[in-house]
Chain A
Amino acid sequence: MSAPSVELVKLSRSFGGVAALDGLDLTVEPGTLTCLLGPSGCGKTTALRIIAGLEHSDGGEVRVAGQDVARIPANKRDMGMVFQSYSLFPNLDARDNVAFGLRMRGWNAAKRRERAGELLELVGLSAHTDKYTHQMSGGQQQRVALARALAIEPRVLLLDEPLSALDAVVRVQLREEIRSLQTRLGITTVFVTHDQEEALSVSDQVAVMRAGRLEQCAAPAEVYADPATAFVAEFIGTMNRLPGTLSADGQTVEVAGRRLVVRQGGTEAGPRSGGEVTVLIRPEAVRLEPAEDGTATVRQAGFRGPITRITAVLPDGTEVLSDVPSASAAELVPGRAAALVLDDAPVMVF
């Protein structure tokens, strides 16, 4: 049976007069992983829970393989879910946890045992089949939770910030495992997170949300390089905010001594004619070179392995972040004068 698509059509939900979801439209293609990304309170978890059937919506539809699932109760939706914490049933060992869904489907004990064993092996925990929740680390618990969700061969896999409660190293490791499992099994997946790095690295598609609405939904590279709104631009990765002057025709902007083309498009109507604006530029689009007559002064240099992030200050006090290959960063020490060169590429202004 092939994986279904999941569509959210004008999904709305309010709690006590506050709209947690405000007309969300989203399509998850069959077999792909879409991340719902956004700050706390943006409605991403609410959307996921509505998909799962754990919450109802006030308006709009959830369609799986084209069919509205509103009438289907949560325990019949055939969706696997992984929670942020307290995922596992503490009174059952790993194997029984994984086999739980199978038990609900009437599988006999032998088959359940076998399948649970397979799945635990899939997540690398065959040695832990008899362990209980309190005997496992956070990462192990989440792996078992994942195995449990996958055991029932769900049509859709839902993950609610599954890695947020884990340590950084485990988090990175586990997200790659989740992604590779997902691609291998080809399950339509919705993954909620507030961590943009996580979202960018595991998704086929990132849906950036804010205040119950969708800001942008696109492939990770596009969301990074071509943000539709200022919010997305700043939420994903880091952005410099530099003061600039817009030209009379609104097509170019003068910033840090350069004249750059203003990026057209996006979902926000930008300023049309001249005036002071804020320009958004990525640190990797800012180049710093040590120069005696440079206008910028290096304030701080943060070594990050392959890249060094330099914090420099312009004469008017504006701080600029620049990502420089560490190999060429040797002379950019605090106090040094440097010349700021912006890449010649369209920029976002607002």
Chain B
Amino acid sequence: MTALISDSPAVQSPATAGPGRTQRRRPRAGRAVLLLLFAAYFFIPLYAAVDFTLGGSRRNMGHTLSVWTGLVHQEGFTTNLMTSLKIAGGTVLLLLVLMVPTMAWLHLRLPHLRRVVEGVCLLPMAIPAVVIANGILGAFKSWPQAITGSSWILILEYVILALPFTYRSLDAGLSAIPLTTMVEAARSLGASWPTTLWRVVVPNIRTSVASAGILGAALALGEFTIANLLLLNTFPIWTDQAGQQDGEVATTASMLILFLSWLLLMLVSQLGRGRAGKKSPKLRRNK
């Protein structure tokens, strides 16, 4: 998790990998038990859910993929899935277009305002989605139906919901590079602002941008609260409605969302590890 890279594996001793582990053998058993218990708590429900989607609750003993394969034929499945995917795409796009230049500018020109912007980006945490949904009804009463009654309002609001982790991700990425120096170098070589941003800054914060984007997509795919309260149709909403009729369909669709999110997040994790590997080994000499 930490970007602790030891360049010579020969010299990385167990003692530096964890505090004072040279003469402790007893806790290992206890730790294994603890880890097993937690593993059980987290895996059994997933197993149960997958089993359920494979028809495990039916009287006839066999497992079947019929629910999964039949999913595509469920009424509303494809349309709503497409809708959610489009919303996710739109959210990611808008999020990055808004935040990447903003964060870059913040780091470059207004570093003393970082705290303030961070605070602003944490606001969505202080204002629960339920409340935001409530507020939308009130605040945007006079807005055209084309926006408030469609996926657009969702895209616009999901960007807000994504702000907290987006800020964190981009802030980390921008802090880890010599931003000012790079930009000054680019500008002195004649690059315009958009070119600098696109060709110099973004490639160097690739992982952070990807991270933020992917997390935004995961959020948009799974978001239920606002869509539900605004009576809009997205895939999670459809899942809930389908659930009223058929638990198997609902659970299966949920597992689909889960798998999609999981895949996305694995991507993020892979990116994170890749970036960690690139950190200069010279800077880690604390053996």
Chains A, B in direct contact (C-beta < 8 Å): yes
Give chain A's interface residues, CB within 8 Å of chain B: 15-16, 18, 20, 40-41, 45-46, 49, 53-56, 73-74, 84-86, 164
CB distance from B257 to the nearest CB of A (A): 42
CB of B178 closer than 8 Å to a CB of A:
no
Distance of A55 Cα from B11 Cα, bound (Å) = 12
Contact pick for B8, options A41, A49, A54, CB 8 Å: A41
B20 touches A16 (CB 8 A): no
B66 within 8 A of A: no
> Is B9's beta carbon under 8 Å from chain A?
yes
Residues of A within 8 A of B9 (CB): 15-16, 18
Bound CA span A163–B12, Å? 21
The CA of A45 and the CA of B15, in the complex, are separated in Å by 12
User: A41 — which chain B residues lie within 8 A by C-beta?
Assistant: 8, 10-11
B65 CB to closest chain A CB (Å) equals 45
Contact between A20 and B286, CB atoms less than 8 A apart: no
Bitwise interface map of B from 1 to 40 toward A, beta carbon under 8 Å scored 1, else 0: 0000000111111010000101100000000000000000
Contact B20 A54 (CB under 8 A): yes
A15–B20 contact, CB under 8 A? no
Q: Between A and B, how many residue pairs show CB distances below 8 Å?
A: 41
B23, A46: Cβ atoms closer than 8 Å: no
A49 touches B15 (CB 8 A): yes
- Which of B8, B12, B13, B286 is A40 in contact with, Cβ under 8 Å? B8
A15 to B286, CA, bound (A): 17
The reply to whether A54 and B10 form a contact with Cβ atoms under 8 Å apart is: no
B58 at the interface (CB under 8 A from A): no
For A194, the closest partner residue in chain B by CB is B285
**Contact (A15, B285) CB under 8 Å given A54-B20, A55-B22:** no
Distance, CA A40 to CA B287, complexed state (A)? 10
Q: Which residues of A contact B11 (CB under 8 A)?
A: 15, 20, 40-41, 45-46
**Nearest CB of chain A from residue B112's CB, rounded to whole Å:** 19
Number of residues in B with C-beta < 8 Å to the partner? Answer: 13
Contacting pair B287 A45 (CB below 8 A)? yes
**What are 14 A-B contacts with C-beta separation under 8 Å?**
A15-B11, A15-B12, A16-B9, A18-B10, A40-B11, A40-B285, A41-B10, A45-B11, A46-B11, A54-B20, A55-B13, A56-B22, A73-B23, A74-B20
Of B12, B15, B285, B286, the residue contacting A54 (CB under 8 A) is B15
Complex: A20 Cα to B10 Cα, angstroms: 7
Question: Which 5 pairs across A and B sit closest by C-beta, in order of nearness?
Answer: A18-B10, A41-B8, A56-B22, A55-B15, A15-B10
B282 smallest CB distance to A (angstroms): 10
A86 cross-chain contacts in B, Cβ below 8 A: 286
Chain B residues with CB under 8 Å of A164's CB are: 285
A53–B23 alpha-carbon span in the complex (Å): 10
Q: How far is the CB of B20 from chain A (nearest CB, A)?
A: 7
In Å, the complex CA distance between A18 and B9 comes to 9
- Cα distance A73–B20 when bound, in Å? 11
> Does the CB pair A85–B286 fall under 8 Å?
yes
Instruction: Quote the shortest CB–CB distance from B12 to chain A (angstroms).
Output: 7
Interface centre among B20, B23, B287 (most CB of A within 10 A): B287
Nearest CB in chain A: distance from B278 CB, A: 20
Nearest CB on A from B96, distance (A): 35
Q: In this complex, which of A16, A53, A73, A86 has the most chain B Cβ atoms within 10 angstroms of its Cβ?
A: A16
CA distance A41 to B287 in the complex (A): 10
Chain A residues with CB below 8 A from B13, complex form? 15, 20, 46, 49, 55
